[in-house]
Amino acid sequence: MLSNIWQQSRLTEGATLEALEFALGYEFFEGIQTVDVPHAKERQSIGRIIAERDIPLTYCMARVLNLNGLDLSSADKALRPRSVAEIIARLDDGREINASLFHVLSGPKPESEEERAEALKRLTDSVASITEAAAEDPKLTIMIEPLDLGYHKKMTLGYAREGVEIVKAVRQSYPNIGVGLDTAHMILNGEDSSKELRASLEQMVEFHFCNCIMDPSNPLDGDNHVIFGEPGELDVDGIAEVMRAAVDCGFFNPENRARIFCEIIRRDETPEFIIEHQQKALEDAWALANS
């Protein structure tokens, strides 16, 4: 995830391209994620590399949504259509960078569960409009990701199975949509990551291994993408447990190179440290899963 290791790369033309080239120097990795790249020439350069090397790329709209105050689940009759239109306008950027997944999120959670139920309906309508536009050639697959409901991010779409239901509803008209699940969000929601992976198998297009801290006294409490292990909730043993479930249900199999990301924000560490920490965690967990 370039946008976690190089968080500010989008602000400087050429910085995301440089980060991509650095990351691809580690032959361990077979897929890339980035937030928006505002510069057309840079998108085109990245797109050529993605096409030449046949690498899957996820293009994430989180910063576009958050920094512009957009909300795909809003009750505001002006804001929601504007948000949908803005995201649809970015689809061509995703095509230019040769993305295969185009990542969107819901807006903040309303105060009551009744209001949240209505917000989920509005979110489904918004995502259906975006997915319809993404179905035009060259086609993009939309990925909707549930975040946590009440601990930290407090978003409308929180539970994994609600994301699955949105995908099922939209797929009745447009097949180019899937759900992305994240261990940190599921842990913060009190969900079982392995169980939700199994239940979401047919709808899931991406899975994130992400650690979270559940300690209000810790300044990084919540979904802050910390390195694996204490004081967080997800360690190598936990990753291995999810990997076993993934193998058992067929998400990992010889025919499916599943799209898996580690989500760790670089703070004081070097890029090399974070990349090597991720690689070692995955390799150690895989060895445990197969022992």
pLDDT of residue 252: 85
pLDDT of residue 257: 77
| 291 residues of the chain, pLDDT tens digit each | 999 999 999 999 999 999 999 999 998 999 999 999 999 999 999 999 999 999 999 999 999 999 999 999 999 999 999 999 999 999 999 999 999 999 999 999 999 999 999 999 999 999 999 999 999 999 999 999 999 999 999 999 999 999 999 999 999 999 999 999 999 999 999 999 999 999 999 999 999 999 999 999 999 999 999 999 999 999 999 999 999 999 999 888 878 778 999 999 999 999 999 999 999 999 999 999 999
Spatial separation of the C-alpha atoms in residues 49 and 190, rounded to whole Å: 40
> Is residue 88 within 8 Å of residue 140, measured between CB atoms?
no
Give which of 134, 127, 102 is closest to 33, Cα–Cα.
102
Matching residue, tokens 């067929």 = 250
- How large is the C-alpha radius of gyration of the chain? 18
pTM: predicted TM-score of the whole model, two decimal places: 0.96
Strand, helix or coil for residue 8: coil
Domains and their CATH numbers in the chain: 2-289 (3.20.20.150)
What's the residue count for the chain?
291
Phi, psi of 181 (to 5 degrees): -110, 155
Q: Which helix (H) or strand (E) holds 288?
A: helix 271-289
